[in-house]
Amino acid sequence: MSNQSPQVGRGPASAVASPETGAPAPRSGGQLLVDALKVHGVDLAFGVPGESYLEVLDALYDSEIKFVTCRQEGGASYMAEAYGKLTGRPGICFVTRGPGATNGAIGVHVAYQDSTPMILFVGQVGNDFVEREAFQEIDYRRMYGPMAKWVAQIDRADRVPEYVNRAFHTAVSGRPGPVVLALPEDMLTDTASVADTGRYKRVAAHPGDRDMRRLRELLTQAKRPFVILGGGDWNAAACEDIRAFAEANALPVGTAFRRADLYDNRLPSYAGDVGIGINPALAARIKSSDLLIAIGPRLDEMTTGGYTLIDVPRPKQKLVHVHPGAEELGRVYEADLPVNSGMPEFAAMARGIKPVDAAAWTEWTKAARADYEKWLVPERGPGALDLGQVMEFLRKRLPPGAIVTNGAGNFAGWVHRYYPYTGFRTELAPIAGSMGYGVPAGIAAGLVHPDRPVVAFAGDGDFLMTGQELATAAQFGAKVMFVVVNNGMYGTIRMHQEREHPGRVSGTELKNPDFAALARAYGLHGEIVEKTADFAAAFERAWEAKTSSLLELRVDAEAITTRTTLSAIRAAALKKKG
């Protein structure tokens, strides 16, 4: 073996240090890896097994780490991403080479776009076969290069602690994100006498005093300031600090696309969700603001209405842009005050600023709230089952700690508009707009927080992308209420189709199974709901169920968004075409 050093050889793994030399006892690469995970505080890992990493599975056998065996790597990587979002610690996912790596890519993509710490471990062919296109061989550095913060292959067992340590540091530091580590099979069986590292420490930039003085100065000059919260790198304490900062300065606060849980939506300073299907009054308010304080968001396409809400590259307003990654500042927007800082670090300093006289904008802030409250009142939609009414019921019925997840599709528009998230990590939703996210994210939430109610929303298209993970929920006892919004189509795409090619329905219709029966086949409680009036009772039965549950809501295909119908979109498009 070309990769052997004097400390590396083959032999049985042992955890006992040599009494004579005090040198670390030889351990296999697989054992070293699992020991490193323990050092870094891992309690849960998600994955689908493969013969490429048997040594790791074997080391897990004796460990305290719970390995959640999933039914498809897409589900596993989504769960690991959701774990990362929920805890701020890297979510761990194990997949086998080639097919496992390709299936698992979706969670890595989401972790990248959503700035979530995550580590994907991928099996790899042994170094003795590498570069021959051996069975299921892929060069992961090239495959995952643009999708991850760092991709590497651990070729030597004695360097496992070093690589894993770096992976944890990289995943959580600066702008958080995913790391991919490939594990050649022979490395996992090789042994090495090497010590573990210490636990990783997150590294973050801090704002300078000058930054904070300038922020205060900009505030004193403002008449219509507006705060947008977003991005990764938050924790509950940072959210509290930002709340104190906003309240002390009577600032209106909006949240970037699918980051609504960074601020308790019930607070009088909350002004709404700056994302897809934005409240037109909120969009107008942001356009007419004179100072935007963007704390954490990238100011991405979805948060800026396709870069129309805020002018590129020079916004009309004064812009304060705070981001944990230096590379994001000045990437799209020219800020008056760019601040490179971790979120907790910035939030603590912001809380410490001497409050300014907010008299100039107290009415502006109240008006922003009034716009939001008006927006919260459901518009009556077509059909016997009205999602707006369902959301209103859930708003009153779910306790504040409930976690609400969703995947991608127009159904999520009702959740985002009508469900007020109650604070940090009550929302798990893919900023990357990736279908199939809500189900596994809900399961991860159920496993991480068994004490908190979890409701996972999915569209009929969305659900079947990862619906097989109901088996994982059943196997590991995660309690989740799955709500499948069934409109018999890939509705979002149909909406675009009616706009661009009215009346020409192509590739968007779905013939669905009986979702409730499917749930029962997995051992869950399952019911179909067809009328608004029946929802409350069905909800209560699902709530009382010992197992996870699934409510299939049969909705009218006409109800395409909270504001309009399919026919109206089609009619408008036909009129436009003349």
Does 487 bind Mg ion (CB under 5 A)? Our answer is: yes
Q: Give the one entry of Mg ion, ligand TPP, none that residue 462 binds, where binding means its C-beta sits below a cut-off of 5 to 8 angstroms depending on kind.
A: ligand TPP
Q: Which stretch binds Mg ion (CB under 5 A): 45-53, 414-422, 461-469, 470-478?
A: 461-469
Does 467 bind Mg ion (CB under 5 A)? Our answer is: no
Amino acid at 466: T
Does 505 bind ligand TPP (CB under 6 A)? Our answer is: no
Strands 8-9 and 191-192: antiparallel
Does 489 bind ligand TPP (CB under 6 A)? Our answer is: yes
Size of the site for Mg ion (CB under 5 A): 5
Contact 101, 140 (CB under 8 A): yes
Near ligand TPP by CB under 6 A: residue from 492, 548, 549, 561 = 492
Near ligand TPP by CB under 6 A: residue from 490, 515, 522, 539 = 490
Does 245 bind ligand TPP (CB under 6 A)? Our answer is: no
Considering the complex, state which of residue 413 and residue 459 has its C-beta at the smaller distance from Mg ion. Answer: 459
Does 565 bind ligand TPP (CB under 6 A)? Our answer is: no
Locus of tokens 């306790």: 399
Near ligand TPP by CB under 6 A: residue from 124, 487, 532, 562 = 487
Considering the complex, state which of residue 507 and residue 578 has its C-beta at the smaller distance from ligand TPP. Answer: 507
Locus of tokens 């708003």: 395
Show contacts with ligand TPP in window 410-429 (CB under 6 A): 410-411
> Coil, helix or strand for 561?
coil
Contact 147, 81 (CB under 8 A): no
Tell me the CA distances in angstroms from 405 to 86, 445, 456, one per residue in order: 11, 9, 5
- What is the distance, to the nearest Å, from the Cα of residue 276 to the centroid of all Cα atoms in its chain? 16
Does 460 bind Mg ion (CB under 5 A)? Our answer is: yes
Cα–Cα distance between 192 and 172 in angstroms, integer?
Answer: 28
Q: Which stretch binds Mg ion (CB under 5 A): 311-319, 437-445, 453-461, 465-473?
A: 453-461
Tell me the CA distances in angstroms from 230 to 32, 163, 193, 272, 537, one per residue in order: 37, 30, 44, 12, 36
Q: Give the one entry of ligand TPP, Mg ion, none that residue 434 binds, where binding means its C-beta sits below a cut-off of 5 to 8 angstroms depending on kind.
A: ligand TPP
Whole-number CA gyration radius for the chain? 25
Does 407 bind Mg ion (CB under 5 A)? Our answer is: no
Q: Give the one entry of ligand TPP, Mg ion, none that residue 30 binds, where binding means its C-beta sits below a cut-off of 5 to 8 angstroms depending on kind.
A: none
Exposure string (b/e) for 523-555, b if CB count within 10 Å is 16 or more? ebbbbbbbebebbeebbeebeebebbbbbbbbb
Q: Give the one entry of Mg ion, ligand TPP, none that residue 252 binds, where binding means its C-beta sits below a cut-off of 5 to 8 angstroms depending on kind.
A: none
The residue with its CB nearest to ligand TPP is 459
The H helix count followed by the E strand count for the chain is: 21, 21
Exposure string (b/e) for 76-100, b if CB count within 10 Å is 16 or more? bbbbbbbbbbbbbbbbbbbbbbbeb
Q: Give the one entry of ligand TPP, Mg ion, none that residue 435 binds, where binding means its C-beta sits below a cut-off of 5 to 8 angstroms depending on kind.
A: ligand TPP
Cα–Cα distance between 540 and 538 in angstroms, integer?
Answer: 5
Near Mg ion by CB under 5 A: residue from 459, 467, 502, 526 = 459
Q: Which stretch binds Mg ion (CB under 5 A): 133-141, 187-195, 346-354, 452-460?
A: 452-460
Show contacts with ligand TPP in window 429-458 (CB under 6 A): 433-436
Does 548 bind Mg ion (CB under 5 A)? Our answer is: no
Sign of the torsion formed by the C-alpha atoms of 50, 52, 56 and 57: positive
At its nearest, how many Å lie between ligand TPP and the CB of residue 340?
Answer: 31
Does 215 bind ligand TPP (CB under 6 A)? Our answer is: no
Interface ranges with ligand TPP (CB under 6 A): 408-411, 433-436, 459-462, 485, 487, 489-493
Interface ranges with Mg ion (CB under 5 A): 459-461, 487, 491
